[in-house]
Amino acid sequence: MPWELKPDRPIYAQLVEHIVQMILSGVYPPGSKLPSVRDLAKEASVNPNTMQRALAMLEEDGLIITHRTSGRSITEDSEMIRKTRTRIARDQVSEFLEKMQKLGFEKEEILSIITEMIKEVRG
């Protein structure tokens, strides 16, 4: 997954999102080890201090665990990973709903569009 960073948002916030995505998509499965701060920083071509800050935030959220001697690993708590996944999905949907409201759609209309499109995708 390439690290694409937008220039007009804090980098640490974008790194947090990117690493969460890597965890959810299984690049880093539950319980697996994370590369060192330096290696991750090099991979993303960012300042190690910024990477450190992103990892500290993920640690605060509980998604990453720091071991005293052996670096960092992803939490083994799959319930927490599932919750994070749901939270991100809800964020995405609420953003979508806001846009649809701006376009003047009612709740029922939105629902029927979604149902229709899901059917189409299933083919």
> Which residues contribute to the site for another protein (CB under 8 A)?
5, 7-12, 38, 41-42, 45-50, 52
How far apart are CB 43 and another protein at their closest, in Å?
Answer: 10
Q: By C-beta, is 7 or 26 nearer to another protein? A: 7
Residue 34 or 46: the one with the smaller Cβ distance to another protein is 46
3-state SS of the chain is CCCCCCCCCCHHHHHHHHHHHHHHCCCCCCCCECCCHHHHHHHCCCCHHHHHHHHHHHHHHCCEEECCCCCEEECCCHHHHHHHHHHHHHHHHHHHHHHHHHCCCCHHHHHHHHHHHHHHHHC
Task: Supply the minimum distance, in Å, between the C-beta of residue 57 and another protein.
Answer: 12
C-beta of 4 vs 108, nearer to another protein: 4
Least spacing, CB of residue 5 vs another protein, in Å = 6
